[in-house]
Amino acid sequence: MPKPRILILDANALIHRAFHALPPLTSPNGDPVGALYGLGLTLLNVLKTFQPTHVVAAFDRPEKTVRHEQFAAYKAKREKTPDELRVQIMRARDLLDAFAVPTLDAKGYEADDVIGTVAEVARKHALETIIVTGDQDALQLVNDATRVHLLKRGIKDTVTLGPDEVVERYGLAPEQLIDFKALRGDPSDNIPGVRGIGEKTATMLLQTHGTLEHIYAHLEDIAPPIRKKLEAGKGDALMSRKLVTIVRDLPVAKNLDAFLRTPYDRAKAIALFQELGFASLLPKLPDVPEPPLGERAQENAPKGALGTLQLPAPSKRRTPGYRCVATAAEAEEVRKHLERSLGFVVDTETERLGARTEALHGISVSFKEGEARYIPAPYVRAFKAVLEDERIPKFGHNLKYDLEVLERAGIALRPLGFDTMLASYILAPGTRAHDLDTLAFTILGHEKIHIESLIGKGKNQKGMSEVPLEDVAEYSCEDADMTLRLVAHFRKQLASEPRLQRVFEDLELPLIPIIAHMELTGVKLDVKFLSVLRQKVQRQLQSLERRIEKLAGGPFNIASAVQLQKVLFTNLKLSTTGITRTQTGLSTAADELEKLRDAHPIVPLVMEHRELSKLINTYLETLPTLADTKTGRVYTTYNQTIAATGRLSSSDPNLQNIPIRTPLGAEMRKAFVAERGHVLLAADYSQLQLR
């Protein structure tokens, strides 16, 4: 049985980190929720990563602590908590409660002291402890039984530190970090430390003497300037050490069973996520664990602990109104219903994701809320006439994809009556959350089956034919049903916005088949021309390299920022005034080089070298590999619902970034050609306004 593990969340530190790291997100009601989103994301990530048997969240309390009694100016320079953050701290307990995470605080003490106490109790009960925080103060608690999972930058850049990692990272053992802060102080908490002793000196003293006591017992061995500072600041050092030392013996957490991880109320969590607008976190919701096992599972567990909770397989939904067509007779019955309808939703499923290349697995249709049918590929041809019937409008979510899939199957889907993804974009172009899962959750309050739960992701992703047909049918029918419900919702919204309704009906919807045709047709590429051009540019690049190395006084890796930095600022001694500094030294980014363009002949040559290198790596070498070997064409995706301005964007590959303003860029454009007997038309609509 795995060793029991407790996860301790430093709630206040995590909320503060998220508040400052994330944009100011708001809920559908307009309430600030960015910090809560960060806390929720962190919670879900660490629960998945560490699979704890126990979990607890520690909070600060609003009143002053014993440290204020010891030092009246403690945290005196802290700014008042912004109202936008304060209300989120208050709601954080609701979020934790939704995941059955108990919370703990102690009057007169800080969350750090609660964390230290729980970690000490856990150590005595032989539990492994993981402290999750954005505050390095907790590193003093690290030992053989306790690690700290530290959020370094933002909320996704994390590192987990044990004793060895702390020493490697800071040059001091975890327990020495207390004396380190006693010497250096902590401006964020207004802890004075010893005046004049900085980070390097404090580290050096402790690496030499080990402890604060040993330092003061051997002042005669320390250089006079530093000794004088230590003598003058002894009182502050001792007081600072008391302030920074985390308490580990509070009268809390005597029984770890109170922190045993128990099943959470999934419906409650979903309802809260809906209220807060956290649709993107839904796929991260863990399966609900079974209730704690009996004595058999606990027989090897130490006192105050429980074994790992067992997670069941995901539940299989079976909605009564969703069915899979299994016979020709059933297919005929569905076809007749569609013929009598006033319009219906069509949703295609392909073997894998990819409208142009993947085989059709089947389609789902829905013309009544709560009712949908999945039609496997062998029966789809029987629906060709009704799918092409001009009298019956077809609805969908991202109809361009469905149109392309059916076009390849020999079916011309028409007429297009409504696209919910497009309607969502027209009504809210400033957001990118137009996917069906998000819309179903935020508008209909329905958590859809996630595609990852069906086919997996990454290297382990399966094809649809490897998934049980009844699961595919449930998933696809749900897509069709939710889309039909959203059609009704968005129709009402558009009806109240006549101007947007005209844009939707007269411009965007009719554009779908045009764009689909463009995607299916592709763009012809003259691969031989690109090969000749690449060789030409490579010769230019080699010539530039020789000139640059001559000016630099020798060869170096021009693509290396570190080596270029040395050449420009150390060897050639160019002025560093106004040049941005980074963690690796002076920046050599394009904006910084532009400041130095006239400072030395080498600078414009380096900038030109970068431009040519980018052309080769991004276009001249890459584009030919993207061309279809049979057709010689590149197939991009044109996105109608990405840019907030309403313009089309291109992706996979992005054909809108082909350079045009340089002679070489203009030369590159010649690689895009028309078939014999055709011409390419270039139209600049930059001054055309929609009125």
Q: Which residues of the chain have pLDDT under 70?
A: 1-2, 287-316, 354-356, 583, 684-691
CATH code at 525-673:
1.20.1060.10
Q: Determine the angle formed by the axes of helices 234-244 and 224-232, rounding to 10 degrees.
A: 70
Q: Identify the residue whose tokens are 């003293």.
A: 205
Q: For Cα atoms 583, 584, 589, give the angle at the middle one, nearest 5 degrees.
A: 100
Cα separation, 690 vs 121, in Å, equals 68
Q: Do residues 353 and 468 touch, judged by C-beta distance below 8 A?
A: no
pLDDT score for 683:
73
Residue range 5-171 forms a domain whose CATH class is alpha beta
What pLDDT is stored for residue 249 in this prediction?
94
> Residue 352: its pLDDT value, please?
85
CATH number for the 322-512 domain, one of 2.60.210.10, 3.10.620.30, 3.30.565.10, 3.30.420.10? 3.30.420.10
- Residue spans of the domains in the chain: they are 5-171, 322-512, 525-673
Q: pLDDT value at position 299?
A: 37
Residue 152: φ, ψ to 5°: -85, -60
> Strand, helix or coil at 689?
coil
Would you give the DSSP letter of residue 570?
I
**CA distances in angstroms from 461 to 351, 355, 448, 457, 464, listed in the order given:** 11, 17, 19, 4, 10
Cis peptide upstream of residue 653 (ω within 30 degrees of 0) = yes
Q: Please provide the size of the chain in residues.
A: 691
Cα torsion angle, 469, 474, 476, 481, sign: positive
Residue 312's alpha-carbon distances to 13, 286, 287, 481, 650, in angstroms, are 33, 11, 7, 28, 42
For residue range 35-52, list pLDDT tens digits in order. Answer: 999 999 999 999 999 999
Residue type, 493: Q
Q: Nearest to residue 339, comparing CAs of 391, 376, 380?
A: 391
Query: Residue 690: what pLDDT?
Result: 53
Instruction: Quote the pLDDT of residue 32.
Output: 93
Query: Measured over all CA atoms, what is the biggest interatomic distance in the chain, rounded to whole angstroms?
Result: 99
Q: What is the pLDDT of residues 231-255, one digit of tens each?
A: 999 999 999 999 999 999 999 877 8
pLDDT at 132: 98
- Residue 338 has what pLDDT? 98
Question: Any idea what DSSP says for residue 392?
Answer: S
